[in-house]
Amino acid sequence: MKIEQIELYHISMPLVAPFETSFGVETERHGIIAALRADGLTGYGECVASREPGYSYETASTAWHILTEFLAPRILGMEFASAGDVMARFAPVCGHAMAKAALEQAAWDVLAQAKNVSLSKLLGGTRPQVNVGVSVGIHPTAAALLDRIERYLADGYKRIKIKIKPGWDLDIVRQVRARWPKVWLQVDANSAYTLADQSLFEAMDEFKLLLIEQPLGHDDIYEHSLLQAHLATPLCLDESILSAAHARAALALKACRVINIKVGRVGGLAEARHIHNLCHKQNIPVWCGGMLETGIGRAANVAIASLPGFTLPGDISASARYYAEDLVEPPFALNADSTLSVPTGPGLGVRVIEARLKAATLRSERFG
């Protein structure tokens, strides 16, 4: 296939409610949508970098620079037979995994359309539905948090993840667990703690959490191994895992017992599948994390989460959890059993509504 044209859209979409983590508060989603046209087909990808460099050094603005100046021009006009061919062209560009992942995802979408198969099938997915949960941000009060969780449980979500930070941690977990003794519960610290907080996490063992996600720094794989040795609760690494090489190191050091796979963070669907395969062979459970994606990125997440090793519920909630109106039809809806259905149509299996995409666009640029 030949890449004939690439169009990039820097978007901003309001969230239905503010989302607060230890990094700060987000009220709107900034990101980049990539449209890649080849042999008469259009594939879409989403760059999950946000406006602020909290979760990652990449931002929507830096990704725009890398995509427009270095990545899109590098692949325009090339012939490709696999998404790997596209990624090979990006090899001279150091880092910027989220920017690269947007174009890689678009290439996967086009290839699946050309083969008239779903992205899930092309990746090797085996499930018609994927288990999902909901991520609940930090709230002004514990009462507000409990009320929000109650509404999500009423919506049908069976797994709850709550964000924590110093001063909003052990007592909050205690209150949530007291209210719902049997709900699947996990916490996410987003790198907000250090080894000096070991006793805090030891105290969380009594609450029978599914996992504790990324308690220490993004570059603290070794320190996580020291902490995990003292805990009954599994640690899950997120920000620390930027590639399969990082995953191998974390598992060898026993730094975690679970890995959160985010397609954008690791540089694309192929690398995400590589990490999945590595963990699956070692019986290490993985799950798909979320980055406030629109339906474009959500479709890719659902597809990768259909692989057999994704045994824990992912943070890929229904479209209505984040947006009053998504960029795609049909939007993703929560099934009664706390799952999302895996699209079966060619490629991503959802239709991008161009009028909505243009309405959300702050700037755009076309190549070819």
Active-site positions read 163, 262
CA–CA dist 288, 132 (Å, integer): 9
Buried b (16+ CB within 10 A) or exposed e, 162-183: bbbbeebbbebbeebbeeeeeb
Q: Would you call 223 helix, strand, or coil by DSSP?
A: helix
CA–CA dist 228, 231 (Å, integer): 5
CA–CA dist 172, 145 (Å, integer): 9
CA–CA dist 62, 51 (Å, integer): 9
Burial class (CB in 10 A: 0-12, 13-18, 19+), 212: buried
For residue 68, give the DSSP letter: I
CA–CA dist 303, 199 (Å, integer): 39
Residues 6+ apart with CB under 8 A from 107: 36, 43, 45, 80, 83, 86
